[in-house]
Structure 1
Amino acid sequence: MKENTMSKSTDTATDTATDTAQDIKAAAHKLAEAIANTAAYKEFEQANEAMEKDPEAKDLLSQFEVAQQMAQMSASWGGDSQNEQNLAALQDKIARHATLTRFFKAQENLVSSLKELDEYMTKGLGFDFAEMTKPAGGCC
């Protein structure tokens, strides 16, 4: 008889844990939907779509990534003013490109909104929520 009671309490604990996990998943789904319905998220999605459809914007970003890598490699060897000038010129072009300006502003606004959400969750949980989601660091 005692074994039967323990089995029932274990089943109840398992059911409660399962219900809690399902409740958390449902709440997370609702949170994701709520975020997706914010103006910041919608603007980011539209700006991202516009950038993906703009070959000039994509080309500028690609050129910038290459120039940035070249400047970093050059800096490790003592620096090269030509690489730095090229990087600065590309930064200027990006700053004047309407599609990219819109994308970066939308990205900044969305990140700001998500940081506010993280602060709210951190206060409610009593620990830094976003920090807990980062991968564990290694030595390198």
Structure 2
Amino acid sequence: MTADTDLPKAAHTFARALRESPEYREYLAAAEAYQNDPDAQHLLHQLREAQQGSCASAGSCSSSGCGEAPPSLEAETLQEEVDANPVLSRFFASQEELVTLVRSANARLTECLGFDLAELTKTAGGCC
């Protein structure tokens, strides 16, 4: 086997390992629970609207998002409800765990390859 055929095999093995990780499986389960909970979806939608409203009323909106606008009382109350919602808490925690796993994998790959693999996936000229 040559290096050219080893690379695709290694990439598939890596992708499979990520798909089979407990972090990814938990994320999928938490995402499904969120998708099946209209109350959680509505609550998060309300929070996002309140946050956007706070941003707009403070006149600090830009293409990069809200500046230093303080959250409205409504947004603060909704944020507390979101934080207390078990479906949303699980969903956000699973996202954080998955991001941590992927960042850790990228750090290890960067170390082995000698360049930042994740950096190559960023869109040229974009902010994120």
**Alignment TM class, shorter chain as reference:** 0.7 to 0.9
Q: Alpha-carbon deviation of 1:34?
A: 0.6
Count of aligned positions? 119
Conserved 8 A contact 2:34-2:87: yes
Structure 1 residue 137: Cα displacement: 1.1
Cα distance in 1, alignment partners of residues 83 and 109 from structure 2: 34
Quickly say closer, same or farther: Cα 1:80–1:120, change in 2 above 3 A.
closer
TM-score after normalising by structure 2: 0.82
Structure 1 equivalent of residue 37 of structure 2: 54
Structure 2 unpaired stretches of 5+: 61-67
Match of 1:118 in 2: 106
Could you give the per-residue CA deviations for residues 105-134 of structure 1, whole angstroms, max 9, x where no partner exists? 111111101110010011112122212210
2:92 maps to amino acid: F
Distance 1:75 1:118, change over 3 A: same
The C-alpha deviation readout for 1:45-101, integer Å capped at 9, x for no partner, is: 101100100011110111112112111112226x987x6111111110000000000
Aligned-pair Cα RMSD in Å = 2.3
* 2:90 pairs with one of 102, 114, 122: 102
Cα contact 2:55–2:69 (8 A) shared by 1: no
Determine helix, strand or coil for the equivalent of 1:136.
Answer: coil
1:87 paired to 2:89: no
Query: Larger % of helix: which?
Result: 1
- More moved, 43-52 vs 125-134: 125-134
TM-aligned CA distance change 1:85 to 1:48, over 3 Å: same
2:38 is the counterpart of 1:38: no
What is aligned with 1:10? none
The letter of the residue matching 1:65 is R
Q: Offset of 1:138 from its aligned partner?
A: 5.9
Which structure is larger by alpha-carbon Rg, 1 or 2?
A: 1
Moved over 6 A (4+): none
Residues 116/74 of structure 1: CA separation in 2 closer, same or farther (3 Å cut): same
Shift of 1:24: 2.5
| Alignment match, 1:8 | none
